[in-house]
Structures are given as structure tokens and as C-alpha cells.
Structure 1
Amino acid sequence: MDDTTASEAVVNAADRLFYGRGIQAVGMDEIRAAAGISLKRMYSLFPSKEAILAEVLRRRNEQWTAGILQAAHDEPTPSDKLLSIFDFLSDWFAQDDFRGCAFINSFGELGATAPLVADAARAHKIGFQRYVADLVSEAGAPPSLAPQIALLAEGAQTTAAISGSPDAATDARSAARTLLDAARAA
């Protein structure tokens, strides 16, 4: 197994284990075993658990961004693109392995003690907020609408994770539609 394949195996295993059980509950030997490589090899690829976590979060950010952009791809208007965020969330919440936002989970577990996690979570959330703000601007709505839409998406993620129901995405989409309509009418 070459280094690229071995690195992918480690990141895939860590992502699955961290997301399913939490970061602190998973040890390096468990990641190694799930990746199917030796501990020595894993440490040659990633010098620490934090380095693995950094790569997991980097990849999660890429997946999130790609998913949001894909959901918006065929939508004809900026308003429809904004609402497609909640369609993306609805699909994600309905997945069997949905356990909430990996960034919120990681920050909640380690944010106070791990600057890497706090920085990754903040960067991820800021990137999403900018995306929403750009769509709000393109829709001709007031800038104050952007954080409201972003909060609906964030709240839906937390609610769906805790409740175990994907309904939060539909409810948040309805609220976003109401806010958009009110902004246009003003």
C-alpha cells in the first residue's frame, strides 16, 4: 500500500470512528487497526492524533462545500440557491449515519483545549456564512438576512442530531422562505 492509499485509509477510519463515537473515545491503535496498517506506518504518515483530526476536518469541509454547491447547481435564482441549502441538509439528516455537524461536535468536545479544532470549526462556519451572505446579496435582500439564514441552517443541524429526525431541515427551509419573502416585500 503506497503512502497516499495508506493516508486515505487512516483518514477514512478516523473520520468514521471520530464521527460515530467522538474523538477522545478513539485511540490511535483503534484507528491503526481500522485502517489496516502498522502503528509505525501510521505515525510516519501522521505524527499525532491531532494531525489526523486536522485532515479529517479539512476533508469534511471539502465535502460540505461540494455538497452545498451541488445542491445549488441547477437552481435558477439566488433565492432558490439559498433554499437549496435546506434541501441538502434534509438529505444529509436522513442518512443512517448522521450524527450532527462534525465541526460542532469537534468544537464541543475539544474546542476549549485544541486550538486546531477551534480554528477549523470557526473557518468552516465563516466560510458557510460568507457563502450565504453572497447569495443573499445576489438575491437583492438586505445583508441582515444572511446571519438569520445561516443560524437557521446551524440550528437545524443541531436539532436534527439531537432529535434524530430530519424534520428540522424542512422547518428551517420554511422559516427561510418566510424571511426571504418578508425581505422582498420590505
Structure 2
Amino acid sequence: MDHAEATSRLLDAADALFYDRGIQAVGMDEIRAASGVSLKRLYRCFPSKERLVVAYLRRRDLRWREDLAGFVEQCGRPDERVLAVFDWLYEWFSRPGFRGCAFLNSFGELGATAPAVAEAARDHKHLLQRYLTGLARDTGTPDPAALAAQLLVLIDGAISVAAVTADPTAAHHARTAAKALLSGREWLAGL
């Protein structure tokens, strides 16, 4: 097994275990067993658990944002693309094994003690807000950054509510609020 294959298997195992059970509840030996990678190879690929966690978050961020963008890009009009974000969230919330936001979860577990983990979580939120700003700009809103910031709050709120209540309709409620924001965007510039 070469380095790339070992890294991929380790990240697959970390993704499944960390997202399902939490970072602190999963030991490196469990990652080794689930991946089929030797402990020696594991530590060659990731010299510390923190490095593995950061790599897991970085890969999850990229996949999450690509999946979201692929779904949203299927919509034609700019307003529809913004609302499609919440349609995608509903689909995600409805999948078996949905456990909320991996970035908020990891920040809650380790943000105060692992600066690199906190940075990875913040980077995900910044990149998501940048993506939302682009979607907002396409709608012609006078203040795309303000609309994007409000959409991000709706998204994170919906994710948290859906995770705690196990009710994917939190995405529908957030979509309704986003639609109201879009219909009233003329006044956003005055905020």
C-alpha cells in the first residue's frame, strides 16, 4: 500500500468515525483498525491526531462545498440558486447518519485547545460565506455580503436544529426565511 492509498483509507475511516461518534471518543487505534493501515504507517501519514483531524476537516470541507455547488448550479435564476441551498440542506438532513455540522461539532469539541482545528472550522465558514456572497451578488442585492452573512446564520441554525431534533424540515423553515430576505433585499442596504 502506497502513501496516497494509506492516506485515503485513513481519512475515510476518520470521516466515518469522527462524524458518527465525535473526535474525542475515537482513538487512533480505532482509526487504524477501521482503515486497515498499520499504526506505524498511520503515524507516518499523520504524526498526530490533530493533524488527522485537520486533514479530515479540510477534505470534508471540499467535498461538502462541491456537493452543494453542484446541486445549486442546476438551478437557473439567481434567486432560485440561493433557495436551492436550503433544498440541498433538506436532502442532506434526510440522509441516514446525519449528525449536524462536522465543523461546528469539531470546534465545540476542540476549538479551545487545538488552534489548527479551530482554524479549519473557521476556514470552512469563511469559504461558505464567500460562496454565498457570490450567489447573493448574482441576485442584484445592494449588499451581497450582508445577505450572505444572514444566509449563513440561517444555514447554521437549520443544521443545528435538524441535528438536535432529527427533523429535516428545519431546512424548509430556513428556506422560508431566506425567501423573505430575498424579497425584502432592497432594505438590506440600509442596515
Residue 54 (structure 2) pairs with residue 41 (structure 1):
no
In the alignment, which residue of structure 2 is the partner of 1:94? 94
Residue 45 (structure 2) pairs with residue 63 (structure 1):
no
Q: Distance in 2 between matches of 1:121 and 1:142?
A: 29
Given the two structures, how large is their TM-score scaled by the length of structure 2? 0.93
Q: Deviations over 1:67-97 (max 9, x none)?
A: 1211111211221111111011111100111
Written as runs of structure 1 = structure 2, the 5 A alignment for 1:23-172 is 23-143=23-143, 144-172=146-174
> Alpha-carbon deviation of 1:185?
8.2
The gaps in structure 2 that reach 5 residues or longer are none
Aligned residue for 1:108, secondary structure, equals helix
Q: Distance in 2 between matches of 1:158 and 1:142?
A: 29
Given the two structures, how large is their TM-score scaled by the length of structure 1? 0.95
Q: Distance in 1 between matches of 2:11 and 2:41?
A: 13
The gaps in structure 1 that reach 5 residues or longer are none
Q: Is the 8 A contact 1:136 1:142 kept in 2?
A: no
> Alpha-carbon deviation of 1:7?
1.1
Aligned residues: 186
Stretches (4+) displaced over 6 A: none
Q: Give the % identical residues.
A: 50
> Alpha-carbon deviation of 1:111?
0.3
In the alignment, which residue of structure 2 is the partner of 1:182? 184
